Amino acid sequence: MAERRTYSMVFLLAWFAGVASADGGEALTFEKDVRPIFKAYCLDCHGGEKTEGKLDLRLKRFTEVGGDTGPALVVGKPDESLLIERLKAGEMPPGPKKVPPEQIAVIERWIASGAATKRQEPEKLDAGVVITPEEREYWAFQPIRRPVPPSCEAKDRVRTPIDALVLARLRERSLEFAPDADPRTLIRRAAFDLTGLPPTQKAIDAFVADPSDDAYERMLDQLMDSPQYGERWARHWLDVAGYADSDGNGSEDSVRPYAYKYRDYVVRSLNSDKPVDRFVIEQLAGDELVPRPWTELSPENAELLAATGFLRTAADGTSTGASDEPLAANLVVSETLKIVGSTMLGLTVGCAQCHDHRYDPIPQADYYRLRAVFEPALDTNHWRRPGQRLISLFKDADRAKSSAIEAEAAKLQEVVTTKTNTYIAAATKKELAKFPEDLRGKLQAALDTDPAKRSDEQKKLLDSNPSVNISPGVLYQYDQPAADDLTKEQGKVNAKRAEKPVEDFVSVLDEIPGTVPVTKIFYRGDHRQPTKPVVPGDLTIAGAEGQRFEIPEKDGALPTSGRRLAYARHLVKGDHPLLGRVLMNRIWLNHFGRGLVDTPGDFGVLGTRPSHPELLDWLADELVRQGWSLKRIHKLIMTSTAYRQSSRISQASAAADSNNLLYSRFPMQRLEAEEIRDVILHVCGRLDPTMYGPPIPVAEDMVGHVLPEKDSARRSLYLQARRSKPVSMLATFDAPSMVTNCERRVPSTSVTQSLVLMNSDFILAHAKHLAQRIRGETPAGSASDLMARQVSHAWKLVYQREISPEEAAWAAEFGARQSSTPGPEKELAALTNLCQQLLISNEFLYVD
């Protein structure tokens, strides 16, 4: 949320600065310069849901007429305009958010210059804030048009149309691409990019030695065929989906035991190169593709149900009950729509929940039309908690086997019961023999009486003589051999029951067949104040004028409403102005560390404009032409010169493209949090390659650090993602905490990171693991140069290159100083300290 607020302030100021400068050489108009200010600050009260004081500011003509207090403006005379007077006095708007002085100055200059309009205003307007032609002209809402890449004589540097589009921008600043990176750098860059792990030394040697023209392309294919590819790129998607293994229900933060099946679905989908259009459809409406009843589910249908986990990633405060469940349920719905909006549409649709969006052309009614698409499955009037959204994966054969095993176990249990009764009776008889004969009979009678029917006298008698109350739990005190025999017999029962197949479940977002709620607009976003109903549909701005996509309230061919399926298919038709751009921007971001639009979750007015709009449109169109294949898009991007160039900064690049917005070089990037941990495990020889399955639990240690259970060496993707307990090391290196979702990771540099690298138990332990691996793998030889050979091997393992003479001299000096410390393991200690220096070095933590 802090990141969102920061972005909003920065881009709001930038947008207003653009508006304020509009009079530099072009006449100010109401539509282009003034109405955006009114929309941001005034239309909520004067032309949106209501028109207070009968003052309507939606048109210049309405403003001139004014309201109850008379005309709001006098053309040519800002000093006599009541509107300016009220704005400057801070009386409009009435809340804490005031119109900035520079924006009031824009309105003043507009009035003084004649209060011009860009076109003739309509005689009347429909109720509410309408979408203007200027808003429709905004780049993100224009149809995607495939540009023709410019021709270029530098054929050796223009390997793909991407290069032609990037190079055209570079040459506007008299720049060229940087030279290609060397082969070792390229294979390491590609391996980290596609798998999140370094390449093997064998792969590096083979690629460097391969002179064939297609060596690079074949290397990329091998990396994308690796199962680690799906794990790496799943992390990117799970960020924007807001994936977590807990509900986020306050301090309890209940674990979601089956959420991991959605994570595994994403990994499998990416590894199989599932077309992105199908990937989107399954996540939005996989349940509507599975015929009912949901029994005897095939693995394929179970995967479709797991795919809907995308719509179950939002925090859910209803999991263990909430004091105000309707409020908590509506919050789940609103958070889910935020995730859909930022992930699929690249817009802050949630800002239109309470009123028309102040900056983007999203009326409040559009927000609720979008809500109507999802509300049949997120019906707050028939709310289902997370535990009520589980579908059993048990099959009839499993149930039959379980019943048969239970019948066998029941027979064994009868033996245990018979023996138990016999042993207790014998022990009781022996104990009663210790009592006087007259008391013995009364005790026996009390024991033989049903506990519910015992008299007060009998209860008192037994309470006074507890030694005769012999139960299986205390039998060992009277007859140890008998107790041991019962333990053995009960073990047989337990072992038999352990043979039962374990009932498994999948968490699903689905509708209650036959239940289709009516979605209504909430006044001011308050679920307790529903107003007029709306029909399901897409955002108005996503369609051409008068062609908003609307969905029938019920699909007669499906047992469900079919709304989500219809909406998903609409999104992936190939002509939606937002989805393709948003998806390709994220793919570009994850290759280059920065998107063509630097605000990947906000393509609206408060977001940044694309640095290369033609390239973004070309890529969005190409995604469809490539059959929505993500792997083909990877290859297209990664075979470009823009991707293959060196990260070295030339003098010309530093002067004309200092922040690398034009891609005059490849950006050096720090490993992400999960990569840092995974690569350390990898170089130490500890990384567990096991894929899929339940997450590794995490817990706090004595000093409050959250660590994986039993020092697990599984990839970080498989560590439990608790909202309230993020793994400490990952959080330190900017892994997101899923309040809602993570639109973009922003790498930071902090003192805490340095302290973790120098002092954490994880780093210290793995420095020793690495030292032990090096000692074990260094060939035997003379003792005089053992340390030098170990150091050389360390460089090959950590940096995947030969050590330089200067580095060898430094390492020898370092080792000599460390080895001077007395102790039986001083050589291992010296090597461990050296290994720590390598693991925390920039060369290890950054990829160029």
Q: How many domains does the chain have?
A: 4
Residue 391: enclosing H or E segment and its boundaries?
Answer: strand 390-392
Helix axis angle, 761-777 relative to 826-839, nearest 10°? 120
Same domain, 317 and 357: yes
Q: 149 CB contacts (<8 Å, ≥6 apart)?
A: 161, 164, 165, 618
Q: What is the mean pLDDT of residues 779-784?
A: 74
Neighbours of 437 (CB within 10 A): 8
Exposure on the CB side of residue 214, measured as CA atoms within 13 A = 3
Q: What is the mean pLDDT of residues 496-515?
A: 94
CB 743 within 8 A of CB 348: no
4 or 194, greater pLDDT: 194
pLDDT in the model for residue 658: 93
Query: Which amino acid type is present at position 7?
Result: Y
CB 351 within 8 A of CB 524: no
Assess if residue 497 is contained within a domain: yes
Assess if residue 133 is contained within a domain: no
The tens digit of pLDDT for each residue in 638-688 reads 999 999 999 999 999 999 999 999 999 999 999 999 999 999 999 999 999
Could you tell me which of 631, 537, 634, 628 has the C-alpha nearest to residue 278? 628
765 or 251, greater pLDDT: 765
Chain centroid to Cα 65, Å, comes to 50
Same domain, 551 and 453: no
Residue 596 tokens read as 């063509």
CB 608 within 8 A of CB 161: no
The tens digit of pLDDT for each residue in 378-401 reads 999 999 999 999 999 999 999 999
pLDDT in the model for residue 139: 97
CB 47 within 8 A of CB 130: no
pLDDT in the model for residue 262: 98
Same domain, 321 and 430: no
Exposure on the CB side of residue 62, measured as CA atoms within 13 A = 19
Comparing 94-98, 150-154, 625-629, the range with the smallest average pLDDT is: 150-154
Q: Which of 577, 597, 627 is the last residue of a domain?
A: 577
Q: Which of 458, 476, 503 is the last residue of a domain?
A: 503
Residue 522: enclosing H or E segment and its boundaries?
Answer: strand 520-522
Check whether 126 has a pLDDT greater than 80. Answer: no
Same domain, 436 and 375: no
Check whether 437 has a pLDDT greater than 90. Answer: no
CB 716 within 8 A of CB 659: no
Residue 574 tokens read as 């190939």
Check whether 847 has a pLDDT greater than 80. Answer: yes
CA angle 184, 189, 195 (to 5 degrees): 120
Check whether 5 has a pLDDT greater than 60. Answer: no
Cis preceding linkage at 694, omega within 30 = no
CB 756 within 8 A of CB 763: yes
The Cα 781–Cα 785 span in angstroms is: 8
Same domain, 482 and 524: no
The three-state DSSP-derived secondary structure of 273-285 is: CCCHHHHHHHHHH
Same domain, 492 and 512: no
Same domain, 444 and 330: no
pLDDT in the model for residue 696: 97
CA dihedral 782, 787, 793, 797 (to 10 degrees): 150
How far, CA to CA in Å, does 451 sit from each of 72, 439, 448, 562, 637? Answer: 88, 19, 9, 59, 79
Residue range(s) defining the domain that contains residue 461: 411-503
The tens digit of pLDDT for each residue in 182-206 reads 999 999 999 999 999 999 999 999 9
Same domain, 24 and 109: yes
The three-state DSSP-derived secondary structure of 688-742 is: ECCCCCCCECEEECCCCCEEEHHHCCECHHHECCCCCCCCHHHHHCCCCCCCCCC
Could you tell me which of 216, 211, 185 has the C-alpha nearest to residue 645? 185
Assess if residue 527 is contained within a domain: yes
Same domain, 545 and 452: no
The Cα 746–Cα 733 span in angstroms is: 10
Chain centroid to Cα 236, Å, comes to 7
Comparing 117-131, 145-159, 584-598, 796-810, the range with the smallest average pLDDT is: 117-131
Provide the pLDDT confidence category of residue 821 given band limits of 50, 70 and 90. low
The three-state DSSP-derived secondary structure of 613-668 is: HHHHHHHHHHHHHCCCCHHHHHHHHHCCHHHHECCCCCHHHHHHCCCCCCCCCCCC
The Cα 725–Cα 302 span in angstroms is: 30
The tens digit of pLDDT for each residue in 612-629 reads 999 999 999 999 999 999
Same domain, 48 and 108: yes
Same domain, 322 and 379: yes
Assess if residue 53 is contained within a domain: yes
Could you tell me which of 745, 680, 695, 767 has the C-alpha nearest to residue 725? 695
Q: What is the mean pLDDT of residues 215-221?
A: 97
Assess if residue 843 is contained within a domain: yes
Assess if residue 375 is contained within a domain: yes
Q: What is the mean pLDDT of residues 131-151?
A: 93
pLDDT in the model for residue 595: 97
CB 404 within 8 A of CB 363: no
The Cα 354–Cα 363 span in angstroms is: 10
The tens digit of pLDDT for each residue in 454-504 reads 999 999 999 999 999 999 999 999 999 999 999 999 999 999 999 999 999
Query: b/e string for 620-655 if b means 16 or more Cβ within 10 A?
Result: bbbbbebebbbbbbbbbbbbbbbbbbbbeebeebee
The Cα 60–Cα 413 span in angstroms is: 87
Provide the pLDDT confidence category of residue 95 given band limits of 50, 70 and 90. confident
Check whether 783 has a pLDDT greater than 80. Answer: no
Same domain, 341 and 380: yes
pLDDT in the model for residue 15: 44
Assess if residue 678 is contained within a domain: no
Residue 847: enclosing H or E segment and its boundaries?
Answer: strand 846-847
Assess if residue 327 is contained within a domain: yes
Exposure on the CB side of residue 143, measured as CA atoms within 13 A = 8
pLDDT in the model for residue 715: 97
Average model confidence (pLDDT) across the chain = 92
Chain centroid to Cα 437, Å, comes to 76
Provide the whole-model pTM.
0.88
The residue written with tokens 């650090």 in the block is: 705
The Cα 147–Cα 518 span in angstroms is: 43
Residue 228 tokens read as 């680690």
Q: Which of 520, 553, 577 is the last residue of a domain?
A: 577
The tens digit of pLDDT for each residue in 28-84 reads 999 889 998 988 888 888 886 678 888 988 888 889 888 888 898 999 888 989 998
Provide the pLDDT confidence category of residue 25 given band limits of 50, 70 and 90. low
The Cα 761–Cα 724 span in angstroms is: 22
pLDDT in the model for residue 546: 85
What radius of gyration do the chain's Cα atoms show?
Answer: 34
Provide the pLDDT confidence category of residue 22 given band limits of 50, 70 and 90. very low
145 or 95, greater pLDDT: 145
